[in-house]
Each structure stands twice: as structure tokens, then as C-alpha cells.
Amino acid sequence: MALLNANPIVYEPTLTTIRVETESDYDDDIVDPIDAEEVYELLRSISDPEHPLTLEQLNVTQLQHITVDNKENHVLVEFTPTIPHCSMATLIGLCIRVRLLRSLPERFKVDIKVRKGTHQSENAVNKQLNDKERVAAALENKHLLEVVNQCLATAGRSE
Amino acid sequence: MPRLELVATLEGHQDRVWQAVWHPSKTILATCSGDKTVRLWAPASHSDLSNWQCIHTLEHGHKRTIRSLAWSPSGNEIATASFDATTGIWEYDSRENDWECVATLEGHENEVKSVAWSAGQLLATCSRDKTVWIWEVESDNDFECLSVLQEHSQDVKMVAWHPHKEVLASASYDDTIKIWREDDDDWYCSDTLQGHTSTVWTLDFDASGDHIVSGSDDQTLRIWRTIKPQNAQGIPTPSHDPTYRTVCTLSGYHNRCIYSVSWSKVNNHIASASGDNSIRVFAQSGETSEEMSWEATAKIEAAHGVHDINHVSWFPSEVHRDWLATAGDDGVARIWRYIEDDV
């Protein structure tokens, strides 16, 4: 099968996006609110469905496009498909959703959107990704779930 | 101020609960879930209405999530809509004291999202395949498909019958509601209700059938009124059928998707349930020929903890006219009492 985007640009992870651990991170007495960096950590090492590369290497997920309101229990992840007609956009968004579904505390409401202006059917993709009934139905599809799990197999690995 | 008080919590499902639907005449609640079962619940005793037990589990009828269920008017059958693309028909056998799946309706191409039983002999189903099917209930658990309606351009989320006429309403991911009527065995779309700006998840008729309330991903509720042909306001009704127009929009009450609305046929109140974890109750406060006004009277935040609420329904008769049932992503159903005043 021909690849949709045969030669994607590969980005080097910038040092600023890698979480720097401080002493207070290990202090159990300090309550650590969940922030954008923590969410980014969960997403950066997810594999692209087509390429043996991570969403970070393809610049699909970026720290500055993640908004976390810990008090209001809200997370917004905006992602950037590698090309504006990427037919994998919904699948990538689904992987992001499943990763957060499995990793974040249940109190969080998560919205996942294509970064404005980066996909020709962004409204359709956004609507589908945020329809929990359709997400539930998709995850009951064994084949699709396998593909998602494959993309998530690398998640959380530090290189 | 009126308030909502928790009466009971019904625990047992192994996955999110999508709906909690009252038996048409008895004190029985049916719930359906992502765990592929329906559970029937009743109070353990007549004296203690706060202790509910699961009295039946309907299982092995579906291979995937049961998204919605509907009682037949007699309460002796239940129809179940499943993501496995089929609709199950279950019948109560009083000799065996058991429920049995007696028929499986096939035809939809993918997930069946909703099923509704008319007051008469009709059943409606709708699906992600964008169609609405109308079935005739014949004797011996035979169901004949009368019509396949394909005018929605997207996933159809819910179907609901007019309380006493054979008029059907459907709500869709295409942001519209459609009204379906019959003309000599031929079903057609008589009206398309436009106004919501995102998926319409839910709708319910009032007791007269002259009004509809709908709830949407656009976080608003809309109330629509039937405008009859030759109306005094001079509103055109092109197909000589009644048309609908919005007489009230309730916004600012929910800040995430509204998944369910219920318009009590007994106390006339509207209840709504949302992905913002809250339930709200609205009471009518005024009406003119142009519009209707409603006010929010009670709310419960975090009615199912941090979880979305998928369904809300008022008890259908006088006996417990103040009871509400809700279903949540936390896998439980809850029963609430709406208390008008503190005496």
C-alpha cells in the first residue's frame, strides 16, 4: 500500500519539551497538579500509524498546543496532521483520546481538536473525535482497537 | 427553592449505563449498558423505596453495547438497540418468571442507536447508517419493516414517537430533527427542524404532543411548537402538515454536551442531563403565541460524581410523579426525588 505521506519531515525533539525533574517532584508532601507538560509526556511517544516515528518527531503534538485547567478538570489537546488531507487524522486523534482515557484521572473532560487551519476536514474530524458514542463504538471494533494499541505500544517509552 | 434529593443508587452494571427507562405502569426501572446487558430493578419492599434490587438481568442477546431500550406499551416486552447492528425483542414469561430474547431485527448496516415503541403497533429504530426504520409489530413476535427512511445526512442518534399519534421525530448528528408522517402506508419526512448548531442527541414530546424539547452538543435546549395549517399568525405550512418553530432556547445552563432530556407528561417539568455532570430541572414560567418562557428550578452538580450523565427520565405516572431516573458513565443508575417546597 502506498504511503499517504511518503516523506514526512522529521523534527528533532527540542530540549525544552523534555520535562526537567526537580527535587519537589519527588516530595510526596507537595500536591502536583496535572499540567500541560505532564499531558505532553503521555502523548509524545505515541507512534504514527504509518511511520516508525513518534507524534513528537512528526510535530503532530506540541507542548504549546496543550491546555490544561487542573481546577476545572479540563484538557484540550490540539494536534497538527502532517498533511492537510491526511486520512489518518481521525485515527491519530483517537490514539490521543485513548491514551488520555487510560492515563488521566477520570475527573478530566478531554477535548481533542485538529489545530485550526491544518486539515481540510477539520470540523468533521473534530466532531467525530468528540462524540463519545462514536468513540465507544469505534473501540468495540477489534481491528481498530488493535491498530490503536499498536500506536500506543511505544507510548511512555523514553526513547 | 425546589431541590433534588437522592432516593437510591443502583449498582451492578460492569460498564457505563446509557439509559434508565421506567416501566409504563409498574415501579420497575430498566437500564442498559456497555456491558451488553439490560438490568431490571425494583424496590426490595413496598415500605422501603430507597432500597432497590436487580430483579432480572437480560443477557446474551447482544454481542456489543446496548445503547438504548424501550418498553412496549403493555410493559410485557422490551426492545433493545445495540452497537451490534441488531434490535432485540425480549418478552416476559410469567410462568417461568423470566425474560427471553424472542426476536432479533436485522437490517441496519451498523450501530443501532435508538429504539422507540409507539402507543400502537409500531416500532422505530435508527442507526449510524443514517436511516430510520419503521417496523410493524405483528402477532407471534413477527416484525415487518414498513419503511426505510433515509433523509438524514448523518448518524441518527434518537427516535421518539408522538405520545398519541403515529408521528415520529428523529434527532441526528447532522444537527437537525426530522418529523415523519404516514400517508397511506407511505412514510415521508414532513418537516426538518433547524436551529441547533451541533449534534442533536435527544428530544421528547410534551403530554399534548404539540411541543418538543431537544438537547444538543451545542449546549442548548430548544423548545419547538407545532404550528398547524391555516394558523392565525399566517405561518406557511407548505405540505399542509403542521410545521414546527422554536419558541424558547435555554442556553447557559449546561457547559458541555446535553445527552438527554425528559418532559414529564404528569408534572410538565423538563429535566436535562449533561456531559458537565449535572442534572437540571426547568418549569414553565410564561407563554405567548410567539414564545414560551422557562426557568431553571433545581440542579444537582456532580450527580454521578465526575462522570457524564447519559440519560434522564421522569416517572411516567402520578404515583411517583416527582421521581427522576438518571444513568451515568460511572456504571450506576440513580433515582432522585424532585421536592417543590420545604414544609
> Choosing among B63, B257, B274, B311, which should be mutated to test the A contact, i.e. which has the most A CBs within 10 A?
B257
Q: Do B306 and A136 touch (CB under 8 A)?
A: no
Looking at residue A15, what DSSP letter applies? G
Chain A residues whose CB is inside 8 A of the B332 CB are none
Q: In angstroms, what separates the C-alpha of A26 from chain B's closest C-alpha?
A: 28
Using the predicted structure, report yes or no on whether residue B119 has a pLDDT greater than 70.
yes
The question of ipTM being above 0.90 is answered as yes
Q: What three-state secondary structure class fits A24?
A: helix
Using the predicted structure, report yes or no on whether residue A142 has a pLDDT greater than 80.
yes
Query: How many Å separate Cα B240 from the centre of its chain?
Result: 28
Residue A43 and residue A77: Cα distance in Å, rounded?
A: 10
What is A33-152's CATH superfamily? Fe-S cluster assembly (FSCA) (3.30.300.130)
Tally the C-alpha atoms within 13 A of residue A22's C-alpha that lie toward its C-beta.
3
Residue B325: strand pairing partners: B313, B335
Q: Which residue has the cell 525533574?
A: A21
Q: Do B128 and A136 touch (CB under 8 A)?
A: no
Query: How many Å separate Cα A25 from the centre of its chain?
Result: 23
Looking at residue A47, what DSSP letter applies? B
Query: How many Å separate Cα B78 from the centre of its chain?
Result: 14
* Per-residue model confidence (pLDDT) at position A19: 61
pLDDT in tens, B63-99: 999 999 999 999 999 999 999 999 999 999 999 999 9
Q: Structural domains in chain B?
A: 3-339 (2.130.10.10)
Q: In angstroms, what separates the C-alpha of A58 from chain B's closest C-alpha?
A: 31
Contacts 24+ apart (CB under 8 A), B280-283: B280/B253, B280/B254, B281/B2, B281/B4, B281/B324, B281/B338, B282/B221, B282/B250, B283/B2
* Per-residue model confidence (pLDDT) at position A55: 96
Q: What three-state secondary structure class fits A103?
A: helix
Asked which of A8-12, B160-164, B315-319 is least confident by mean pLDDT, the reply is: A8-12
Q: In angstroms, what separates the C-alpha of B16 from chain A's closest C-alpha?
A: 10
Q: Do A140 and B308 touch (CB under 8 A)?
A: no
* Per-residue model confidence (pLDDT) at position A159: 47
Chain A residues whose CB is inside 8 A of the B275 CB are 109, 132
Using the predicted structure, report yes or no on whether residue B211 has a pLDDT greater than 50.
yes
Nearest to A140 among B16, B65, B173 (CB): B65
Chain A residues whose CB is inside 8 A of the B173 CB are 127, 131
Q: Is the dihedral of CA B212, B216, B218, B221 positive or negative?
A: positive
CB B7 within 8 A of CB B336: yes
Q: In angstroms, what separates the C-alpha of A74 from chain B's closest C-alpha?
A: 11
pLDDT in tens, A15-62: 455 566 677 667 777 777 999 999 999 999 999 999 999 999 999 999
Nearest to B111 among A127, A130, A137 (CB): A137
pLDDT in tens, B213-238: 999 999 999 999 999 998 888 888 87
Number of A/B CB contacts below 8 angstroms equals 34
Average pLDDT, chain B: 96
> Choosing among B35, B62, B64, which should be mutated to test the A contact, i.e. which has the most A CBs within 10 A?
B64
